[in-house]
Structure 1
Amino acid sequence: MDTRLRYQENIKIILQEHANFRNTIPDGYHSQLLFDDERGGYLVLNIGWNDDNYLHATPIHLDLIGDRIRIQYDDTEEGVATDLLADYSAVEVASKQTKSAQRETKRYERL
C-alpha cells in the first residue's frame, strides 16, 4: 500500500476513535466526520444543542499534503499527533519485522 493511502486509512481510523469517544458524552452534542480523500482534508466537527447553548466547533482538522500529514488544528487533551505517531511507530515496527523476515528467508534459500 502506498504511503498516501496508508495515511488516509490511519487518519480515518484515528478520527473515528475521537468522534466515537465524543459521542459517548451525554451532553446533547455529537461529532461528525468529514473526509475528503481527493483534496486531503479530514475534520471532526462537534455540533449540537445543550439547553440554550449551541456548539459548532472543529476540534481536529488535518490535511494530507503530498505524503505529509499537516495538523491544522488540534483541540484535544492528548493531541492527535500522539495518536498519529503511535500509529506510525507501529507501522514502522511491522515493516522492519517484515523486512527482517524477508532477509532471513533469503538467507535460508541460499543455504
Structure 2
Amino acid sequence: MAKVEQYRKIVQELLQAYSNIKASNEEVEAETIFDLVNDRYQVVHVGWSNKRRIYGCILHLDIKNEKIWIQHDGTEGGIATELIEKGIPKQDIVLAFHSPFKRQFTEFEVG
C-alpha cells in the first residue's frame, strides 16, 4: 500500500505541473481532474480559441493493481519517461494506449 501511496503522490505532482503550463491562448485552461477514490487522474484543456470550443484530454493515468496505466499521453516527451525519472520501475508502468498485443514489444509492463 505504501507503493500505491507513493505512486499517487508522484502522479498528482506531475499532472499538477503540466496543468500549470500556460497555453499560448489565455482563454484555454489546463485543468486537473483527480478521482482519488478510483485512482484516475487527468489533465484536460478547456476554453475557447478563435471562437472555437477547445476541450481535450492531454494526460490520463490510472493506478490499477499497483501499476500506473497510461491511458492517454498527449505530451511531446512522454509521461512514462518522467515517471521513470521519479523512480518508478518500468515493470510498474503499462502503456495502455497500445493494444495488449503490441505492449509485449515495449520495455514496459504488458498489464
User: TM-score category by the smaller chain?
Assistant: 0.7 to 0.9
Pair 1:13 & 2:13 matched:
yes
Structure whose CA Rg is larger: 1
Structure 2 Cα separation of the partners of residues 81 and 18 of structure 1: 14
Counterpart code for 1:12: Q
Matches for 1:4-83 after TM superposition, within 5 Å: 4-21=4-21, 24-27=22-25, 28-83=27-82
Deviations 1:27-46 (A, max 9, x none): 02111101112111000011
Q: Which runs of 5+ in 1 are unaligned?
A: 90-111
What percentage of residue pairs aligned between the two structures are identical?
28
Structure 2 Cα separation of the partners of residues 25 and 72 of structure 1: 23
Structure 2 Cα separation of the partners of residues 26 and 73 of structure 1: 22
SS of residue paired to 1:88: coil
SS of residue paired to 1:70: strand
Q: TM-score, normalised by structure 2?
A: 0.74
Structure 2 Cα separation of the partners of residues 68 and 58 of structure 1: 21
Matches for 1:96-107 after TM superposition, within 5 Å: none
Runs of 4+ off more than 6 Å: none
Deviations 1:60-99 (A, max 9, x none): 000000210000000100011111110016xxxxxxxxxx
Q: TM-score, normalised by structure 1?
A: 0.74
Matches for 1:79-94 after TM superposition, within 5 Å: 79-88=78-87
Structure 2 Cα separation of the partners of residues 25 and 12 of structure 1: 20
Counterpart code for 2:13: I
Deviation at 1:54, TM superposition (A): 1.0
Write 1 or 2 for the structure with the bigger share of helix. Answer: 1
SS of residue paired to 1:84: helix
Q: Which runs of 5+ in 2 are unaligned?
A: 89-111
